[in-house]
């Protein structure tokens, strides 16, 4: 099964979902703002993406500034906890397919894990 961490209000997220559906994939849509991933799920996503947790953070998000995160140095564990508590900060969309993951910015990254 393919999973997409989806925000229906996001153009890139809708584009990724359309791509998955156009390929006839069985897709589990996770509206992560309504159903936030746990810290354990976030650790797994970061591992599949091959990135540090901080790289999953939407630093241009208003909430990022409101929380004063630009002025802090957080550990990977603290970033995971922050993302779990504030899912709006999670970069989107994230697609998980066949043991691989990609952030759909640009959409080509999703195509790579589907075709790879």
Residue 39 annotated in active site:
no
116 — pLDDT class (breaks 50, 70, 90): confident
Confidence of residue 26 (pLDDT cuts 50, 70, 90): very high
This model's pTM is above 0.75 = yes
Number of domains in the chain: 1
CATH number, domain with residue 67: 3.40.30.10
Strand partners, 110: none
Residue 30 near residue 3, CB atoms below 8 Å = yes
The domain in which residue 77 lies consists of: 2-115
Q: End-to-end CA distance of the chain, in Å?
A: 16
Distance CA 20, CA 60 (A): 27
Find the catalytic residue in 1, 9, 10, 41: 10
Beta bridge partner(s), residue 2? 27
| pLDDT tens per residue, range 55-96 | 999 999 999 999 999 989 999 999 999 999 999 999 999 999
């Amino acid at each position: 099964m393919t999973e997409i961490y989806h925000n229906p209000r996001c153009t890139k997220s809708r584009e990724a979902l359309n791509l998955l559906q156009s390929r006839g994939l069985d897709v589990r849509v996770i509206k992560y703002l309504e159903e936030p991933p746990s810290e354990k799920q976030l650790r797994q996503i970061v591992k599949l993406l091959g990135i540090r947790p901080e790289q999953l953070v939407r630093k241009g998000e208003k909430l990022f500034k409101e929380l004063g995160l630009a002025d802090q140095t957080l550990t990977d564990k603290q970033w995971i906890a922050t993302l779990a508590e504030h899912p709006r900060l999670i970069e989107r969309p994230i697609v998980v397919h066949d043991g691989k993951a990609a952030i759909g910015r640009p959409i080509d990254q999703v195509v790579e894990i589907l075709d790879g």
